[in-house]
Structures are given as C-alpha cells and as structure tokens.
Amino acid sequence: MTAWARDTMVRRRENIAIVTRTNQLVVLALDQPSCEPFSISGSGVDVWQSIESSFQSISDLSNRISRIAHIDPRSIEGDIINFVSVLFSKGLIERGDEA
C-alpha cells in the first residue's frame, strides 16, 4: 500500500453514480463488482464535491475546503487524507500514481 501525502494526486473515477439526498450523497462505483452504496454526509459532501475529474493534490483539496469552512488548511489535511483513503478503498477515486 502506498502512503498518502499532501502532494498525492486524486480524481474521481469514471462510472460513478451519485444520488443526492438532503445533506447527504450516496455514491456507487458502477464498475466495481460489489457496487456497494457509500453514504457521504456532513463536511464529506464538501470534500466529495471538491474532487473533480481532473487530478488535484490533497493539499489543493485541503485549501479549497479550508476556504469553505474558514479554517487553517493544515488543521484539516489529516482528515482529508483519511477521507480520500476511504474513498479510494471503495473504488470511488483514483490516485495519480496508480492511474
């Protein structure tokens, strides 16, 4: 397993279905054998919506979310890394070094 760092590049995978509910998203990786729904709520919605189809770094994501939440990006970088590692394990995003 490759370590995650602030310069790790991530993007949304293709073949993703998103169902929007009030204050919640349910995301499915349609090309994964299990295709299990993954529920995202709270600040995770902001992070998901900030992840685009083109590669961007964890640092870029942290900066974008910090502007939304009006907090220091360094204070949330660890949380962003943890969240994107879960998204990666669910097959919802891909890393630039593994694309």
The class of domain 9-95 in CATH terms is mainly alpha
Confidence of residue 11 (pLDDT cuts 50, 70, 90): very high
Q: How high is the pLDDT of residue 7?
A: 94
Question: Which pLDDT score, from 0 to 100, does residue 22 have?
Answer: 86
Question: Measured between alpha carbons, how far is 12 from 28 in angstroms, rounded to an integer?
Answer: 12
Mean pLDDT within 60-81: 93
Burial class (CB in 10 A: 0-12, 13-18, 19+), 95: middle
Q: For 53-68, what is each residue's pLDDT tens digit?
A: 899 999 999 999 999 8
Using CA atoms, how far residue 65 sits from 3, 38, 39, 56, 61, in Å, is: 22, 21, 19, 13, 6
Name residue 49's amino acid. Answer: Q
Please give the Cα distance from 78 to 86 (Å, whole number): 13
Question: Domain residue spans in the chain?
Answer: 9-95
